[in-house]
A and B are shown apart, each in its own frame.
Chain A
Amino acid sequence: EDKVVQSPLSLVVHEGDTVTLNCSYEVTNFRSLLWYKQEKKAPTFLFMLTSSGIEKKSGRLSSILDKKELFSILNITATQTGDSAIYLCAGQTGANNLFFGTGTRLTVIP
């Protein structure tokens, strides 16, 4: 059974802190791991990871995949209140389906 587990479920930090969000996955014929940020209704795309050990970076956000341990992390440095959102991780199967974790709710306090 395809499964994506994220931790922690929620996180409260102060502006300027660095956070690490975790995602473990078991998906059929794994193709890629995707991270999304969901602030209102629709998730917005952050990263797509297909290769182990190669960090992807966008501003203060970065992510890396470990295909041996079936794990990915999303790092956010120097957090800002605008980073408050639910961060979703999804595993893409060989059949091109996406299975999502339940997300990590990040709250950044000024």
Chain B
Amino acid sequence: GAGVSQSPSNKVTEKGKDVELRCDPISGHTALYWYRQRLGQGLEFLIYFQGNSAPDKSGLPSDRFSAERTGESVSTLTIQRTQQEDSAVYLCASSLTGLYGYTFGSGTRLTVV
């Protein structure tokens, strides 16, 4: 596609429910990143995929968070048993090889009530 697409754009969920966030990177981009941005804070690195392998999962905040990537395409970020502190904007970015500029999606705003 022309840009990085994320869905849904907004998600309100009840505490304790599982949510799945989706990212469609730019076609041909091998590197894919997930970030989290809490209100008033900076971008927090979650996970990085090169192809469909994840060389760096160090940013995942707990074992409730997991992510997958199918080939060099779609990625899903799953948060199990959501907590109120999970409320944030979740941003996905892709890059041609990880060596050049990154393009961000418009994010998913997650609100846990």
Chain A residues near B44 (CB, 8 Å)?
Answer: 100
Interface bracket on A: 20 to 34
Q: Does A52 contact B (CB under 8 A)?
A: no
Q: Does B91 contact A (CB under 8 A)?
A: yes
Using CB atoms, name the residue of chain B closest to A50: B99
CB distance from A28 to the nearest CB of B (A): 11
Chain A residues near B50 (CB, 8 Å)?
Answer: 96
Interface size on B, residues (CB 8 A): 27
Q: Does A18 contact B (CB under 8 A)?
A: no
Chain B residues near A40 (CB, 8 Å)?
Answer: 106
Prevailing SS type, chain B contact patch? strand
Contact B100 A48, beta carbon cutoff 8 Å: yes
Contact A97 B43, beta carbon cutoff 8 Å: no
Q: Does B105 contact A (CB under 8 A)?
A: yes
- How far, in whole Å, are A39 and B107 apart by their CA atoms in the complex? 13
Question: Would you give the 0/1 interface string for B89-107, flagging 1 where the beta carbon is closer than 8 Å to chain A?
Answer: 1010101001111111111
A-B contacts, 11 listed (Cβ < 8 Å): A41-B107, A41-B109, A42-B91, A43-B91, A43-B104, A88-B42, A90-B43, A96-B31, A97-B45, A100-B35, A102-B41
